[in-house]
């Protein structure tokens, strides 16, 4: 009789804080022992020469989601989760997106139905709130937070999604009271619209003008404003997909002042630039996302932010719109930059790119890599210690990396439902060989081993980031008035 279901032997284990040589024993989907000479198992995996890491958590991706202009993403919960698994992810957190007039409950039910029979990896759902009515704020959101939807994204731009500062304060105060995390897409809508109108009037339609219209100042101004609004009501806030140095600096300064402000960045801000939007003909449409990729100096600032505590989370912001009329060209074959669907894919390439260019090039330690791609997201979004950790009692979500596996990224090798990758032709070293979810092998020998629907919904707890900067700083100006005002 075997003691364990699975034993991973001879690997080098890395967590967000430690590294050690140990075997990992798994029973009933959980890690139950770490050490040497642990005993027998149904299945033994020899991880000699491999790195044994917590499974990746992609904390920002758009899966089977309609955009505000009602374009459906190319990936559903099956293709999206399969692609994520091949890229080393064992959990992802897509969005249940509210469009104006919809009830949040209806939106959540639809997303749960879409995911239930399809996702092969575990998943939670963030909410997108575009219509914070009294019913949403007083009834739906507090109830949904209790049911495990403990984070929600709001937009400061996009005509059909944006909320105003007053609505943002309502949402931040509610999040504070209920232990939830607000995520913000911080770009100043008026600035973008003002520039866009002038560009279009002068006949500047090409994709490259998308990057001109989404000026860095639009992002930094909105980021600073969002931080101040969060400070006013003493609420935590996570600024998503940060692309440029001034916004990054505002986050770091807030953290250094003791505020519970968090930052996320994405591969497109390390590996693409605005020059990519200027490729031949409409090719540039492939790289249109918001905020847009910037320049080489911005890339360096984002790399620095991954090391100096500005960013806690590195996510894909996988927003898959194909290079055809179903996606990028939904408005016709020759759209202006304003009509091109926004977003780039990246679920499967997120971790290999960061491993190759970050860890192997000496910019990040392996512990930082684990923190940025898994552990911090688990903490911030209420999944820790079940996820994001290789500890006794944690889910056996494990990615066994081959640090020497050299690959050239091509769309053909990826498993999403896209027709391009922005990283086509990039050479990377290091890719997951085996991906294990709750003790079950999901990917091995470049083959999917789990069925549709194998993934479980994750009811999340209120955010307990444990990553707060030292409380040394200007706190909320309203704090001394007590809870009455908030
Ligand atoms: O361009 C992007 N990032 N599209 C996806 C939606 C969003 O704002 O994250
Ligand atoms: Zn966004
Ligand atoms: Zn997004």
Mean pLDDT lowest among 62-71, 421-430, 477-486:
477-486
Mean pLDDT lowest among 97-101, 172-176, 212-216, 300-304:
172-176
Residue 41 in tokens: 């198992």
Residue 86 in tokens: 């091949």
Q: Is the peptide bond before 104 cis (omega within 30 degrees of 0)?
A: no
**For residue 342, which ligand has an atom nearest its CA?**
1
On the question of pLDDT at 466 being above 90, the answer is no
Determine the Cα–Cα distance for residues 411 and 348; give it in Å rounded to an integer: 11
Which among 168, 184, 175, 96 has a CA at the least distance from the CA of 132? 168
Determine the Cα–Cα distance for residues 117 and 27; give it in Å rounded to an integer: 25
pLDDT tens for residues 45-66?
999 999 999 999 999 999 999 9
On the question of pLDDT at 199 being above 70, the answer is yes
Q: In what order do the strands lie in the sheet with 23-27?
A: 30-35, 23-27, 4-9, 41-46
Which among 14, 2, 89, 83 has a CA at the least distance from the CA of 42? 2
Q: What residue has token string 């949402």?
A: 171
SS3 of residue 206 by DSSP: coil
Task: Output the residue whose Cα is nearest ligand 1's atom 4.
Answer: 343
Task: Output the residue whose Cα is nearest ligand 1's atom 2.
Answer: 343
The answer, yes or no, to whether any atom of ligand 1 lies below 6 A from the CB of 318, is no
Residues near 49 by beta carbon (within 8 Å), at least 6 away in sequence: 402, 404
Q: 291 CA distance to ligand 2 centroid (A)?
A: 8
pLDDT tens for residues 271-293?
999 999 999 999 999 999 999 99
Q: 259 CA distance to ligand 1 centroid (A)?
A: 26
Give the atom of ligand 1 at the shortest distance from the alpha carbon of 289.
Answer: 1
Q: 241 CA distance to ligand 2 centroid (A)?
A: 7
Confidence of residue 463 (pLDDT cuts 50, 70, 90): low
On the question of pLDDT at 357 being above 80, the answer is yes
On the question of pLDDT at 473 being above 50, the answer is no
Q: 152 CA distance to ligand 3 centroid (A)?
A: 12
Q: 60 CA distance to ligand 3 centroid (A)?
A: 6
CB atoms inside a 10 Å sphere around CB 289: 28
Give the atom of ligand 1 at the shortest distance from the alpha carbon of 155.
Answer: 8
- Could you tell which of 62, 65, 128, 210 is best to mutate to test the pocket of ligand 1, judged by most ligand atoms within 8 Å of the CB? 62
- Could you tell which of 290, 320, 337, 347 is best to mutate to test the pocket of ligand 1, judged by most ligand atoms within 8 Å of the CB? 290
**For residue 289, which ligand has an atom nearest its CA?**
1
Confidence of residue 150 (pLDDT cuts 50, 70, 90): very high
**What are the distances in angstroms from CA 310 to CA 27, 63, 96, 261, 468?**
37, 27, 27, 9, 12
Q: What residue has token string 């009037």?
A: 201
Burial class (CB in 10 A: 0-12, 13-18, 19+), 18: exposed
Which among 78, 62, 75, 64 has a CA at the least distance from the CA of 118? 78
Burial class (CB in 10 A: 0-12, 13-18, 19+), 352: buried
Q: 373 CA distance to ligand 2 centroid (A)?
A: 18
Residues near 221 by beta carbon (within 8 Å), at least 6 away in sequence: 188, 191
The pLDDT, as a whole number, for residue 469 is: 44
86's enclosing H/E stretch is helix 77-86
Q: 342 CA distance to ligand 1 centroid (A)?
A: 6
The answer, yes or no, to whether any atom of ligand 1 lies below 6 A from the CB of 342, is yes
Q: Residues 237, 59, 486, CA angle at the centre, nearest 5°? A: 20
Q: What is the crossing angle of helices 165-178 and 216-232, to 10°?
A: 50
The pLDDT, as a whole number, for residue 485 is: 60
Mean pLDDT lowest among 4-8, 253-257, 323-327, 450-454:
253-257
Query: What whole-number percentage of the chain has pLDDT above 70?
Result: 95
CATH architecture of 56-377: Alpha-Beta Barrel (3.20)
On the question of pLDDT at 121 being above 50, the answer is yes
- Could you tell which of 317, 321, 339, 341 is best to mutate to test the pocket of ligand 1, judged by most ligand atoms within 8 Å of the CB? 317
Q: 185 CA distance to ligand 2 centroid (A)?
A: 4
Q: 235 CA distance to ligand 3 centroid (A)?
A: 22
Q: Report yes or no: 373 and 399 within 8 Å, Cβ to Cβ.
A: no
**For residue 320, which ligand has an atom nearest its CA?**
1
Mean pLDDT lowest among 61-70, 73-82, 305-314, 460-469:
460-469
Determine the Cα–Cα distance for residues 309 and 136; give it in Å rounded to an integer: 34
Determine the Cα–Cα distance for residues 63 and 241; give it in Å rounded to an integer: 17
The pLDDT, as a whole number, for residue 477 is: 65
Mean pLDDT within 404-432: 98
DSSP 25-67: EEETTEEEEEESS---EEEEEE-TT-EEEEPEEEEEE--S-B-
Mean pLDDT within 383-403: 98
Determine the Cα–Cα distance for residues 266 and 145; give it in Å rounded to an integer: 26
Strands (E), 99-215: 122-123, 126-128, 151-155, 181-185
The answer, yes or no, to whether any atom of ligand 1 lies below 6 A from the CB of 387, is no
pLDDT tens for residues 230-266?
999 889 999 999 999 999 999 999 999 889 999 999 9
Residue 263 in tokens: 């930052």
The answer, yes or no, to whether any atom of ligand 1 lies below 6 A from the CB of 62, is yes
Q: 317 CA distance to ligand 3 centroid (A)?
A: 5
Query: CA dihedral defined by 396, 402, 406, 409, rounded to 10 degrees?
Result: 0
Determine the Cα–Cα distance for residues 358 and 350; give it in Å rounded to an integer: 11
Determine the Cα–Cα distance for residues 7 and 27; give it in Å rounded to an integer: 9
The answer, yes or no, to whether any atom of ligand 1 lies below 6 A from the CB of 276, is no
């Amino acid at each position: 009789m075997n003691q364990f279901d699975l034993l991973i032997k001879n690997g080098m284990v890395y967590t967000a804080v430690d590294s050690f040589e140990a075997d990992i024993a798994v029973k009933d989907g959980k890690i139950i022992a770490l050490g040497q000479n642990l005993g027998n198992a149904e299945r033994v995996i020899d991880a000699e020469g491999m790195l044994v890491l917590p499974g990746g958590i992609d904390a920002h991706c758009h899966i089977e989601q309609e955009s505000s202009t009602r374009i459906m993403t190319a990936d559903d919960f099956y293709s999206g989760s399969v692609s994520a698994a091949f890229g080393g992810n064992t959990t992802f957190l897509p969005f249940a997106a509210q469009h104006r007039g919809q009830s949040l409950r209806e939106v959540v039910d639809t997303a749960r139905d879409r995911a239930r029979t399809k996702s092969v990896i575990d998943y939670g759902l963030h909410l997108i709130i575009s219509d914070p009515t009294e019913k949403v704020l007083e009834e739906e959101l507090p109830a949904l937070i209790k049911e495990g939807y403990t984070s929600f994204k709001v937009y400061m731009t996009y005509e059909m999604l944006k909320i105003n500062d007053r609505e943002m304060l309502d949402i931040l105060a509610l999040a504070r009271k209920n232990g939830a995390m607000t995520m913000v897409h911080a770009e100043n809508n008026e600035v973008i619209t003002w520039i866009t109108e002038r560009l279009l009037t002068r006949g500047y339609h090409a994709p490259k003008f998308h990057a001109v219209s989404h000026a860095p100042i639009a992002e930094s101004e909105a980021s600073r404003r969002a931080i101040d609004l969060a400070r006013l009501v003493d609420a935590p806030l996570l600024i998503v997909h940060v692309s440029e140095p001034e916004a990054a600096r505002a986050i770091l300064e807030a953290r250094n002042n003791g505020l519970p402000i968090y930052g996320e960045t994405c591969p497109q801000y390390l590996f693409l630039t605005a020059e990519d939007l200027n490729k031949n003909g409409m090719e540039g449409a492939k790289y249109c996302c918001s905020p847009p990729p910037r320049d080489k100096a911005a890339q360096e600032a984002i790399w620095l932010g991954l090391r100096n505590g500005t960013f806690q989370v590195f996510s894909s912001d996988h927003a898959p719109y194909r290079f055809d009329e179903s996606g990028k060209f939904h408005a016709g074959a020759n759209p202006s930059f304003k009509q091109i669907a926004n977003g780039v894919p990246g679920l499967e390439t997120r971790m290999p790119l960061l491993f190759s260019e970050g860890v192997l090039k000496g910019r990040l330690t392996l512990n930082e890599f684990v923190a940025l791609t898994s552990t911090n997201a688990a903490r911030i979004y209420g999944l820790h210690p079940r996820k994001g950790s290789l500890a006794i009692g944690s889910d056996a979500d494990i990615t066994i990396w081959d640090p020497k596996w050299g690959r050239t990224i091509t769309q053909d090798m990826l498993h999403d439902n896209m027709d391009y990758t922005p990283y086509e032709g990039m050479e990377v070293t290091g890719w997951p060989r085996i991906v294990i979810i709750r003790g079950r092998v999901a990917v091995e020998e470049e083959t999917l081993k789990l069925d549709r629907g194998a993934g479980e919904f994750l009811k999340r707890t209120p955010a307990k980031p444990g990553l707060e900067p030292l409380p040394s700083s200007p706190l909320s100006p309203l704090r001394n008035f007590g809870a009455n005002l908030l």
